[in-house]
Amino acid sequence: MAYDEVSRTISARDNSARWEDVVCRNGLDADGNSPATERLPCNGLNPNSGIPQSQLASYLKPGPYGFITVDFDRFMADTNYHELSRTAPENNSAPTGASTGGVDEETYGAYLEVNGETEIVDRTLSFNLGTRYVTTDQLISGPVTIGGMREYQNLDSTYDAFLPSINSTLDLMEDVKLRMSASRTLTRANPSAMLPATQFSDPSAQQATQGNPNLSPYLSTNFDIGGEWYTGDEGYVGVTLFNKQVTGFTVLGTNTIPFLQLGIPYDTLTDLQRGALDSRGGPNTATVTVQQQVNAPGNLELRGQEITWVQPLDMVVEGLGFNANFTKIDQKGEGQGAPAQAIGVSPQTYNFTGYWENYGASLRLSYTWYDEQVISGPNQNGISFAQLKADARGQWDLSASYSFEDVATEPMLTLNISNLTGEPLRTTYQYDNATFTYYDPGYTATLGIRGSF
């Protein structure tokens, strides 16, 4: 048996409008009101602005890689940015895309597992199988503004599922094993599509938009088959074929529900909305057409192959060896709501690690390669087909250590270097020549020592 209770809260804070007043208008509008009551274009209208138009160019400076950048430290100091950021009020959402709200979950689980071993034509078959039942109660909360009043709204939801699993291994030969596994897993729906965010889109309170706390979770049905050939010591060559079928995707839809299910108090409505609601039978009878995300029948299939090779090379140099891995994934979306592909998944990845371990010393040099990835859905920045992509990228990492076994506390000296050659990370906006972000992280080196006493 298992019980979990988890809470997640986001508080979106935004003072950008006030900062704009200071930057462009010295906190004033064209009529001298403070704070500004009429926001005219941000072009240094007031000669006493925090950043007067005449001084704007002085804040620009050459940046790396041929780009123009801003002297941000000076810009922020001259516009009181840090104080405005520290005192930013909570808003329903922030320019970063974050929405204020919370998800409280209580999950109850029951597990049953059976382990066994049997013989098939004189070959040993080991297996474990079982199932897990989970039920989750969720409280989805977030601010809404109705009739000029801002208050928190709470919406309840419940979902449950049976999640079976089986794993088996057949000893085909003394050094060859065949494996098969199948399972079902789940993950909660996107919280941003579940937060209340209730708004009426007409003056008669007949049509509304609202998050959907009753979205079903994503379900993945997984199947793997493969095997390993053990070549001696820790060495082996393994091949795995896998398939995932993912459902639970959402589309924008409409539901007609009783007004009471909206979770909006009747007395927070405007006089016009209450009158329209009363004409439709009152709050206990009237219905509202709600536009929200709803689950769709689409299915995303991921098929892949993985090859792994682990090989000690003691016959060459004692303690020398390597391991390598290659993975290829094909994706196909079918049906309404299913994306053409999952984001953040490279069609091909591979990694290679060479190692030497002996005489208390350890040295590992690794290389990892990822093909180009799609990292967002479509409709980015208002262009329906535009997606964000991450460039293909390879990275070297180094890890080394040495143990002084004959010294008190047996100290171990460690050195780890990540991104040894300082490879950059770049994302693009739909097209390869449209750079969206460029990040040059350099390398990170960590030197440490540890011992026990």
Whether pLDDT at 29 is above 60 = no
Please check whether residue 408 is in contact with residue 453, taking contact to mean a CB–CB distance below 8 angstroms: yes
Highest average pLDDT, of 88-102, 139-153, 295-309, comes from 295-309
pLDDT at site 180 = 97
Whether pLDDT at 116 is above 60 = yes
| pLDDT per residue as tens digits for the range 229-261 | 999 888 999 999 999 999 999 988 988 889 988
Whether pLDDT at 270 is above 90 = no
What is the number of structural domains in the chain?
1
**Residue 231 is assigned to a structural domain of this protein:** no
Q: What is the domain extent for residue 49?
A: 10-86
Give mean pLDDT, residues 179-199.
Answer: 91
Give mean pLDDT, residues 427-451.
Answer: 94
Q: Where are the alpha helices (DSSP H) in 183-248?
A: none
pLDDT band at 445 (very low <50, low <70, confident <90, very high): very high
- In the DSSP assignment, the letter for residue 190 is P
pLDDT at site 261 = 86
Q: What angle do CA 173, 176, 178 make, to 5 degrees?
A: 105
Backbone angles phi, psi at 276, to 5 degrees: -65, -35
**Residue 321 is assigned to a structural domain of this protein:** no
**Residue 355 is assigned to a structural domain of this protein:** no
Q: What angle do CA 182, 184, 187 make, to 5 degrees?
A: 145
CA distance 115 to 117: 7
pLDDT at site 44 = 53
Give the mean pLDDT of the chain: 90
pLDDT at site 146 = 81
Give mean pLDDT, residues 99-116.
Answer: 94
pLDDT at site 39 = 60
Which tokens is 210 given? 């609202």
| pLDDT per residue as tens digits for the range 48-57 | 677 877 888 8
How many other β-carbons are positioned within 10 Å of the β-carbon of residue 50?
Answer: 21
**Residue 70 is assigned to a structural domain of this protein:** yes
**Residue 372 is assigned to a structural domain of this protein:** no
Whether pLDDT at 36 is above 70 = no
**Residue 266 is assigned to a structural domain of this protein:** no
**Residue 51 is assigned to a structural domain of this protein:** yes
Prediction pTM value: 0.77
**Residue 33 is assigned to a structural domain of this protein:** yes
